[in-house]
């Protein structure tokens, strides 16, 4: 049974009462599991996105099955991740020891596992395939074709965009990924961009059909990430004590420690402030290494070499249920990324009422409203970053105003809103699919 033949089709025509009762979504996330702890290895914003969207779709009545690669023998074949959401661990290659760039060699095995699951059901079980990242898009291309259902694809990051903004010492994405992305763009019935900028990149860099490109902003869990009454940041010593954080001005970085995310820029900005005789805030890096196992140690060595090792603290990734307190404990959350398709950390921090200082790149230009919810910095000049951080930290009135603006901006990003927008995309993709095979 095709998507447009379902009872949900009539509801999809009216966004005010949209429901997804009975809709079955096969969601593909090959290289990283929505169950993994974000902030280290390959686990990051995409994990949060897939799980948050799946749960919100389920809340609207859909049944979502997320297919991801098994990475441990102890993982169950099927894990219930909430009402209406199943995570299926597909055996494809060894559990450990595979780098993300080696996974194309396991796509055949992964695809076989996905198709085998569908084959055990009645024909027409799934109504739509939604793939995340280009590796999943390759699998989704075949699955959607085999099942004759729409393929909806979310890029999350794009090789051509990343390669155009490489951080010093970073490695370019391989040509094989570029080709794979181009194939998925051509095959998809709908492409989901997180921001208008990403939509333009799909059209301009990949030749995507504009009629198939849709903008749906990701969400933040507004139950976990919200302002709380009482003091904030440096004015809440009890919270700092509970988290084991020092008192005084504090800048928080949350994410994977890798060149793409630019944590070295914060270290260099701290050194610039010290050289200028300005107060040096605490720089707290909450995350683990990605790409290079030595990434955290290398950042610590840089801090020592620049004379600010006494002000840079490293903490491992924390569970999402505790992350809101970390955002609220900070005076500023910093995102000095070289490339971001959206910037979930910024949205979550803002939802907690914490100002964000971010690079004016990609989705961060949409998530962070300059001079309203935070500040945008052009490039990665340590002097510019030092000036921006010092401006917010030294001005209590400005920081309070940006905090209020951050809470207002962050409240716009809810997962239910994202899920309702995605249902519209699924509906349009079904129309495209029918027109392409007619």
Q: Say whether 294 counts as a known binding-site residue.
A: no
Q: Say whether 354 counts as a known binding-site residue.
A: yes
Q: Say whether 133 counts as a known binding-site residue.
A: yes
Residue 214 neighbours by CB under 8 Å, 6+ apart: 190, 191, 192, 193, 199, 421, 424, 425, 428
Q: Which two tokens stand for residue 126?
A: 């799934």
What does the angle CA 199 – CA 36 – CA 168 come to, to the nearest 5 degrees? 55
**Burial of 187 (C-beta count, 10 Å sphere; 0-12/13-18/19+):** middle
Q: Say whether 16 counts as a known binding-site residue.
A: no
Q: Say whether 100 counts as a known binding-site residue.
A: yes
Q: Say whether 38 counts as a known binding-site residue.
A: yes
Q: Say whether 46 counts as a known binding-site residue.
A: yes
Q: Say whether 37 counts as a known binding-site residue.
A: yes
**Burial of 211 (C-beta count, 10 Å sphere; 0-12/13-18/19+):** exposed
Q: Which two tokens stand for residue 379?
A: 């490039």
Q: Say whether 42 counts as a known binding-site residue.
A: yes
Q: Say whether 426 counts as a known binding-site residue.
A: no
Q: Say whether 44 counts as a known binding-site residue.
A: yes
Please, are residues 54 and 34 in contact by the beta-carbon 8 Å criterion? yes
Q: Say whether 327 counts as a known binding-site residue.
A: yes
Q: Say whether 420 counts as a known binding-site residue.
A: no
Q: Say whether 47 counts as a known binding-site residue.
A: yes
Q: Say whether 348 counts as a known binding-site residue.
A: yes
Please, are residues 26 and 115 in contact by the beta-carbon 8 Å criterion? no
Please, are residues 422 and 216 in contact by the beta-carbon 8 Å criterion? yes
Give the C-alpha separation, 236 to 375, whole Å: 23
Q: Say whether 318 counts as a known binding-site residue.
A: yes
Q: How many other CB atoms sit within 10 Å of the CB of residue 122?
A: 7
Q: Say whether 256 counts as a known binding-site residue.
A: yes
Annotated binding site for 1D-myo-inositol 3-phosphate: 31, 42-47, 100, 133, 157, 177
Sequence ranges of the binding site for UDP-N-acetyl-alpha-D-glucosamine: 37-38, 45, 256, 261, 318, 340, 348
Binding residues for Mg(2+): 327-328, 330, 354
Specify binding-site residues: 31, 37-38, 42-47, 100, 133, 157, 177, 256, 261, 318, 327-328, 330, 340, 348, 354
């Amino acid at each position: 049974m095709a998507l447009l033949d379902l009872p949900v089709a009539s509801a999809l025509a009216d966004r005010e009462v949209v429901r997804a009762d009975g809709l079955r979504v096969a969601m593909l996330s090959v290289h990283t599991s929505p169950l993994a702890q974000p902030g280290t290895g390959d686990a990051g914003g995409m994990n949060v996105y897939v799980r948050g969207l799946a749960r919100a779709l389920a809340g609207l009545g859909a049944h979502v099955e997320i297919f991801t690669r098994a990475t441990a023998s102890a993982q169950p074949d099927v894990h219930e991740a909430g009402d209406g959401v199943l995570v299926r661990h597909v055996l494809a290659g060894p559990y450990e020891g595979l780098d993300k760039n080696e996974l194309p060699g396991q796509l055949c095995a992964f695809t076989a596992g996905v198709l085998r699951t569908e084959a055990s059901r009645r024909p027409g079980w799934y109504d739509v395939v939604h793939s995340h990242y280009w590796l999943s898009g390759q699998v989704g291309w075949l699955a959607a074709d085999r099942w004759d259902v729409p393929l909806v694809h979310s890029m999350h990051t794009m090789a051509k965009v990343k390669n155009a903004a490489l951080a010093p010492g970073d490695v370019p994405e391989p040509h094989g990924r570029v080709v794979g992305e181009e194939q998925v763009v051509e095959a998809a019935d709908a492409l989901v961009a997180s921001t208008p900028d990403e939509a333009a990149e799909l059209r301009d860099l990949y030749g995507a059909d504009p009629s198939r490109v849709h903008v749906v902003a990701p969400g933040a869990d507004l139950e976990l990430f919200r302002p709380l009454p009482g003091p904030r940041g440096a004015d809440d010593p009890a919270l700092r004590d509970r988290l084991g954080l020092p008192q005084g001005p504090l800048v928080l970085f949350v994410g994977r420690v890798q060149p793409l995310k630019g944590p070295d820029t914060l270290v260099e900005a701290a050194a610039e402030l010290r050289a200028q005789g300005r107060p040096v805030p605490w720089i707290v890096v909450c995350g683990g290494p990605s790409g290079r196992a030595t990434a955290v140690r290398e950042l610590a060595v840089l801090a020592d070499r620049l004379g600010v090792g006494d002000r840079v603290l490293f903490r491992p990734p924390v569970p999402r249920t505790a992350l809101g307190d970390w955002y609220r404990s900070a005076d500023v959350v910093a995102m000095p990324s070289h490339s971001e398709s959206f910037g979930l950390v910024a949205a979550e921090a803002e939802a907690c009422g914490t100002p964000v200082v971010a690079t004016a790149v990609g989705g961060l230009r949409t998530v962070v409203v300059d001079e309203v919810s935070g500040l945008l910095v052009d490039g990665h000049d340590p002097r510019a970053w030092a000036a921006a951080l010092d401006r917010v930290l030294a001005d209590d009135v400005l920081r309070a105003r940006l905090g209020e603006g951050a809470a207002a901006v962050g409240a716009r990003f809810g997962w239910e809103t994202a899920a309702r927008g995605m249902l519209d995309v699924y509906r349009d993709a079904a129309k495209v699919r029918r027109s392409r095979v007619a």
